[in-house]
C-alpha cells in the first residue's frame, strides 16, 4: 500500500462516486451512515455534446479508417461540419457541469453537517453560487417537518458552516433557523467595514465584556473640527442601577480610564440620562486645584449664591429662592477642610446680592472676620446669647408668617435673611453643659429658650418666611436633620462635604455609602456638592480669604487676596429688616455688646512659660492687665464636640465631674439604642476603671465634648 497522496486519483474516485455511487462495501467492520441522503446523484450533461464535438474535430483522422463505409464517411463529414456549433454548445455545458458539481459538493457537505450537528436528515438542500461561481452565496436546507433544532445544535452547525465556507473581512456566512418553515437558511452577508476608532472599539469591547449594562451600544456623539472624537453616547437597557449615584460614579471612573487621556489634555466627564437609557461621555477641562472667588457676578440670578466650580465646569450654587426645593444648606467638613472659606464665599455672595445674615460662631475664630461686613447683622460667640438668638429667630419666623397672612402677600415678597450656625455640635455641647452646670437662672433661661427645639422648628418652617439656614458641622449626623422629623433632612437639601466621609456619613449626606469617600484631600477646598439636578458632583470650592480688615489679619494676605476682598465688597450694604421686635432688639443689643467689647474689652496677655527653668523668671507675664482677671468660662474647656452616638470605644472624651469640671475619661463601651428607622433614640457611654463602671446616658441630640479636635475625615 502506497502512502503517497495522489490528488488526481482522489478527485477521479470522488467524481466516480458522485456520478455512479459508492460500490465498495464497509471496510474493517466500520459502521457506514447509509441512510438515504437528500442529495441527488450528479449526472453531467456536457458529455452529451463534448463527445460528438471531440469526434467532429477528430473526424479527418477517422476518415481513413472508415474508407469503404459510405454511411460512416457521410456521418463523419456531416459531424465535422457541425464541429464548431458543437464546441460552442459544449463550453457552457462544461461550465454548468462544473458549477453543478460544486453545488452538489456543497449540498453534500451541508447534508453531512446537518446530520452531525442536529441528528436530522435534510429532505432537500439547494445551494446557489455567487456570480463568479466559486463560492456559495446562499443555501436553503429543508428539514423534516417539525424537526427540533436546539440553540446549541444550531450554534454547532453555524460554527461548522463558518469553518467549511470560511469568510473574509468583507463578508461572512450567517445561519438562520426558520422554524416555522422547517428551514435552515445560510446567506453570504457582506460586512460593513469597521470604521470605528480604537477608543470606540475598546469602550464597546469593555462594556460587552463587563455585565454592568445589558445591550450596551457605543456610538460617537461629537467630533471636533479636526475630526477627533470628543464624545460618545453609550446606550443601554434601562435598569435600577443606572439611577444610583454610586453606580454612576463607579462607571464614570471606569469609562474615563478606558477612554484614556485625550489628545486635547481635557478630562472625560459623563452625563447620565437613565430614564432615557443612555449616558454621554464628553470632554471638559480638568478640575482646577484652586479657584479664587471670581469678582464678577457669576450667576446673574440674585437668588443663586455660587460657591464652587464642579466637574464639567459647572457652577455650583445654593438656591435661596422661595421656590427652591433645597432652601437650607448643610456644610460638612473636618478641621482645616475649608468649611469656613465656603461659608465666607456664600455670605459675601449673599451680601453682594442684597441678602443680610447673622452668624453664630461658638469657636470664636471662624466667622469673626465677618463682623462689621456689609449685610452682617451680628456674629454671636456666646452660647447663651446664641440660644437667645435662635429663639428670637423663631419668633421672627412666626412674626413673618403672621405678616404674610395679614397682608395677604406671598412669602417671596419678604426680604430674605440667612442665619448661620457654625460648629453646631460645639454649640450643642455648650448648651448641654450650661443646662447641666450653669447657675439656676441660666438653667431656667435655657429651658425656656429651648434652642434645639426652636432650631428643629426653623429647619422645617423657616423656608416660607424668607429665612434661610446655613449649618456648619465637622461630621454629618442624623440628629442634624431633626431626628424623627424626616422633613428637615429634605430642607437641608443643599449639601456640601469637604474631606472624606465615613460610610454612614456618605449615606446620610448623599444617600449612597460610596460617594464622598475618596476625595483628594491634598487639594484644599476639594469636596462634593449637590448639583441642581440632585446628583452629587466633585467640586472645587472657591477660595475666599478672611475678610477681616484688622491689620493682624489683613497684613497676612497677599495682594491678590486683598483684591478679592476689595472686589467683593457690595456697593450698598444690604438692609436688615426685622418683623419682630425681639429679633431687632436682639441684634441691636448684640451690636452694642460687640462695640463695647471692642472699645473696652481686654484679654489677658499671654503667659510665657520657660522651658526647663525652675526660677521665678521662668514664668514671665509680658504685661499684666489692670482689671481683675475674668473668671475662666466653663465652656471654653473643650476643643471639640461630637454626637454621643459617634463616640467609639477606647476614645477619650470629656465628662463633667460633680463640681462641673470637665475630666478626660476613656470610653470602655458604647451602646446606641435605635428606633425602627435606624434613628438614634439614646446613647449610653460606659466609662470607668476596674469593676467600677459608670453609665452615662445621652438623648438623641446629646453631644460629647472632646479634649482634642475631631480629626475624622481630616485633610492630608
Ligand X SMILES: Nc1ncnc2c1ncn2[C@@H]1O[C@H](COP(=O)(O)OP(=O)(O)OP(=O)(O)O)[C@@H](O)[C@H]1O
Report the interface residues with ligand X, using CB under 6 A. Answer: 290, 333, 335-341, 366, 524-525, 541, 543
* Closest distance of CB 311 from ligand X, Å: 15
Q: Is residue 336 annotated as involved in ligand binding?
A: yes
Choose between 158 and 546: whose C-beta lies nearer to ligand X. Answer: 546
Instruction: Work out the number of other CB atoms within 10 angstroms of the CB of residue 315.
Output: 16
* Closest distance of CB 488 from ligand X, Å: 23
Q: Is residue 335 annotated as involved in ligand binding?
A: yes
Q: Cβ-closest residue to ligand X?
A: 525
Choose between 335 and 485: whose C-beta lies nearer to ligand X. Answer: 335
Choose between 307 and 455: whose C-beta lies nearer to ligand X. Answer: 307
Angle separating helix axes 451-461 and 440-449, nearest 10 degrees: 20
Grid coordinates standing for 633?
Answer: 468660662
Choose between 237 and 313: whose C-beta lies nearer to ligand X. Answer: 313
Inter-CA distances, 13 with 33, 96, 97, 268, 648, Å: 19, 21, 17, 66, 90
* Closest distance of CB 337 from ligand X, Å: 4
291-292 and 267-273 strand pairing? unpaired
Choose between 183 and 524: whose C-beta lies nearer to ligand X. Answer: 524
Going by C-beta distance under 8 Å and a sequence separation of 6 or more, which residues neighbour residue 236? Answer: 213, 214, 215, 216, 217, 242, 277, 278, 279
Choose between 216 and 545: whose C-beta lies nearer to ligand X. Answer: 545
* Closest distance of CB 474 from ligand X, Å: 7
* Closest distance of CB 513 from ligand X, Å: 23
* Closest distance of CB 422 from ligand X, Å: 8
Choose between 281 and 541: whose C-beta lies nearer to ligand X. Answer: 541
- Name the residue among 318, 241, 234 with its Cα closest to residue 278: 234
* Closest distance of CB 550 from ligand X, Å: 16
* Closest distance of CB 540 from ligand X, Å: 7
Inter-CA distances, 261 with 199, 267, 268, 344, Å: 11, 7, 8, 36
For the chain, helix, strand, coil in percent to 5 are 40, 20, 40
Please give the helix or strand (H or E) that residue 79 lies within, else none. helix 70-81
- What is the DSSP code string of 593-627? HHHHHHHH---PPPEEEPSS--SGGGEEES---SS
Choose between 216 and 505: whose C-beta lies nearer to ligand X. Answer: 505
Instruction: Tell me how far apart the alpha carbons of residues 507 and 181 are, in angstroms, rounded to a whole number.
Output: 57
Please give the helix or strand (H or E) that residue 652 lies within, else none. strand 652-656
Grid coordinates standing for 100?
Answer: 453543478
* Closest distance of CB 687 from ligand X, Å: 27
Going by C-beta distance under 8 Å and a sequence separation of 6 or more, which residues neighbour residue 57? Answer: 80, 83, 87
Choose between 293 and 517: whose C-beta lies nearer to ligand X. Answer: 293
Per DSSP, helices labelled H in 353-467 are 383-407, 424-437, 440-449, 451-461
Q: Is residue 333 annotated as involved in ligand binding?
A: yes
Going by C-beta distance under 8 Å and a sequence separation of 6 or more, which residues neighbour residue 79? Answer: 52, 55, 56, 59, 86
Inter-CA distances, 177 with 140, 148, 167, Å: 10, 10, 20
Q: What are phi and psi of 675, to 5 degrees?
A: -85, -170
Choose between 49 and 546: whose C-beta lies nearer to ligand X. Answer: 546
* Closest distance of CB 451 from ligand X, Å: 21
Q: Is residue 339 annotated as involved in ligand binding?
A: yes
Going by C-beta distance under 8 Å and a sequence separation of 6 or more, which residues neighbour residue 188? Answer: 130, 135, 136, 137, 138, 165, 171, 172, 173
* Closest distance of CB 505 from ligand X, Å: 15
Choose between 147 and 305: whose C-beta lies nearer to ligand X. Answer: 305
Grid coordinates standing for 325?
Answer: 426645593
Q: Is residue 338 annotated as involved in ligand binding?
A: yes
Choose between 57 and 554: whose C-beta lies nearer to ligand X. Answer: 554
Q: Cβ distance 338 to 472 under 8 Å?
A: no
Q: Cβ distance 349 to 319 under 8 Å?
A: no
* Closest distance of CB 360 from ligand X, Å: 14
SS (H, E, C) 332-377: ECCCCCCHHHHHHHHHHHHHHCCCCEEEECCCCCCCHHHCCCCCEE
Helix (H, G, I), strand (E, B) or coil at 451: helix
Binding region for ATP = 333-340
Binding region = 333-340
Amino acid at each position: 500500500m502506497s502512502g503517497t497522496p495522489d490528488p488526481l486519483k482522489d478527485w477521479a474516485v470522488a467524481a466516480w462516486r458522485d456520478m455512479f455511487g459508492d460500490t465498495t462495501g464497509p471496510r474493517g467492520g466500520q459502521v457506514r451512515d447509509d441512510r438515504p441522503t437528500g442529495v441527488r446523484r450528479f449526472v453531467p450533461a456536457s458529455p452529451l455534446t463534448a463527445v460528438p464535438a471531440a469526434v467532429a474535430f477528430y473526424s479527418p483522422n477517422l476518415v481513413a479508417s472508415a474508407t469503404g463505409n459510405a454511411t460512416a464517411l457521410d456521418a463523419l463529414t456531416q459531424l465535422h461540419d457541425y464541429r464548431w456549433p458543437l464546441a460552442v454548445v459544449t463550453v457552457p455545458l462544461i461550465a454548468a457541469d462544473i458549477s453543478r458539481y460544486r453545488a452538489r459538493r456543497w449540498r453534500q457537505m451541508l447534508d453531512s453537517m446537518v446530520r452531525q450537528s442536529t441528528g436530522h436528515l435534510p429532505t432537500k438542500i439547494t445551494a446557489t453560487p455567487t456570480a463568479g461561481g466559486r463560492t456559495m452565496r446562499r443555501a436553503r436546507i429543508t428539514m423534516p417537518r417539525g424537526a427540533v433544532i436546539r440553540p446549541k445544535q444550531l450554534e454547532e452547525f453555524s460554527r461548522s458552516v463558518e469553518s467549511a465556507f470560511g469568510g473574509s473581512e468583507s463578508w461572512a456566512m450567517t445561519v438562520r433557523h426558520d422554524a416555522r418553515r422547517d428551514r435552515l437558511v445560510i446567506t453570504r452577508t457582506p460586512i460593513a467595514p469597521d470604521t470605528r476608532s480604537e477608543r470606540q472599539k475598546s469602550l464597546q469591547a469593555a462594556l460587552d465584556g463587563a455585565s454592568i449594562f445589558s445591550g450596551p451600544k457605543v456610538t460617537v456623539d461629537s467630533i471636533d473640527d479636526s475630526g477627533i472624537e470628543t464624545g460618545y453616547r453609550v446606550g443601554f437597557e434601562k435598569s435600577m442601577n443606572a439611577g444610583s449615584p454610586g453606580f454612576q460614579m463607579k462607571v464614570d471612573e471606569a469609562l474615563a480610564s478606558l477612554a484614556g487621556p485625550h489628545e486635547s489634555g481635557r478630562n472625560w466627564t459623563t452625563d447620565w440620562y437613565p430614564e432615557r437609557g443612555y449616558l454621554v461621555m464628553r470632554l471638559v477641562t480638568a478640575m482646577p486645584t484652586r479657584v479664587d472667588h471670581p469678582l464678577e457676578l457669576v450667576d446673574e440670578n440674585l437668588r443663586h449664591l455660587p460657591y464652587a466650580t464642579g466637574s464639567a465646569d459647572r457652577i455650583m450654587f445654593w438656591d435661596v429662592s422661595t421656590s427652591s426645593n433645597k432652601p437650607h444648606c448643610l456644610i460638612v467638613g473636618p478641621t482645616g477642610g475649608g468649611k469656613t472659606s465656603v461659608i465666607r464665599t456664600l455670605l459675601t455672595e449673599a451680601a453682594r446680592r442684597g441678602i443680610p445674615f447673622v452668624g453664630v460662631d461658638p469657636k470664636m475664630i471662624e466667622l469673626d472676620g465677618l463682623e462689621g461686613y456689609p449685610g452682617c447683622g451680628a456674629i454671636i460667640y456666646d452660647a447663651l446669647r446664641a440660644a437667645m438668638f435662635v429663639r428670637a429667630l423663631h419668633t421672627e419666623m412666626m412674626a413673618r408668617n403672621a405678616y404674610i397672612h395679614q397682608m395677604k402677600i406671598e412669602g417671596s415678597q419678604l426680604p430674605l435673611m440667612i442665619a448661620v450656625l457654625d460648629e453646631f455640635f460645639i454649640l450643642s455641647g455648650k448648651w448641654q453643659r450650661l443646662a447641666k452646670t450653669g447657675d439656676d437662672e441660666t438653667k431656667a433661661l435655657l429651658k425656656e429658650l429651648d434652642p434645639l427645639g426652636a432650631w428643629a422648628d426653623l429647619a422645617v418652617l423657616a423656608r416660607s418666611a424668607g429665612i434661610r439656614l446655613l449649618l456648619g458641622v465637622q461630621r454629618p449626623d442624623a440628629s442634624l436633620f431633626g431626628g424623627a422629623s424626616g422633613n428637615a433632612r429634605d430642607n437641608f437639601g443643599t449639601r456640601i462635604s469637604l474631606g472624606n466621609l465615613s460610610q454612614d456619613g456618605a449615606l446620610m449626606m448623599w444617600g449612597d455609602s460610596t460617594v464622598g469617600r475618596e476625595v483628594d484631600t491634598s487639594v484644599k477646598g476639594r469636596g462634593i456638592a449637590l448639583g441642581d439636578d440632585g446628583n452629587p458632583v466633585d467640586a472645587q470650592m472657591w477660595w475666599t480669604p478672611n475678610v477681616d480688615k484688622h491689620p493682624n489679619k489683613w497684613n497676612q494676605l497677599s495682594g491678590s487676596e486683598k483684591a478679592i476682598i476689595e472686589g467683593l465688597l457690595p456697593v450698598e450694604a444690604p438692609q436688615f429688616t426685622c418683623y419682630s421686635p425681639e429679633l431687632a432688639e436682639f441684634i441691636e443689643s448684640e451690636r452694642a455688646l460687640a462695640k463695647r467689647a471692642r472699645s473696652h474689652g481686654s484679654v489677658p496677655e499671654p503667659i510665657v512659660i520657660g522651658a526647663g527653668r525652675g526660677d521665678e523668671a521662668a514664668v514671665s507675664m509680658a504685661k499684666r492687665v489692670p482689671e481683675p482677671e475674668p473668671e475662666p468660662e466653663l465652656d471654653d474647656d473643650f476643643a471639640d464636640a461630637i454626637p454621643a452616638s459617634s463616640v467609639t470605644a477606647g476614645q477619650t472624651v470629656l465628662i463633667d465631674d460633680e463640681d462641673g469640671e470637665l475630666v478626660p475619661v476613656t470610653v470602655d463601651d458604647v451602646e446606641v439604642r435605635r428606633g425602627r428607622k435606624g434613628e438614634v433614640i439614646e446613647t449610653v457611654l460606659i466609662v470607668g476603671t476596674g469593676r467600677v463602671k459608670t453609665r452615662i446616658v445621652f438623648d438623641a441630640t446629646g453631644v460629647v465634648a472632646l479634649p482634642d479636635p475631631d480629626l475624622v475625615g481630616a485633610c492630608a
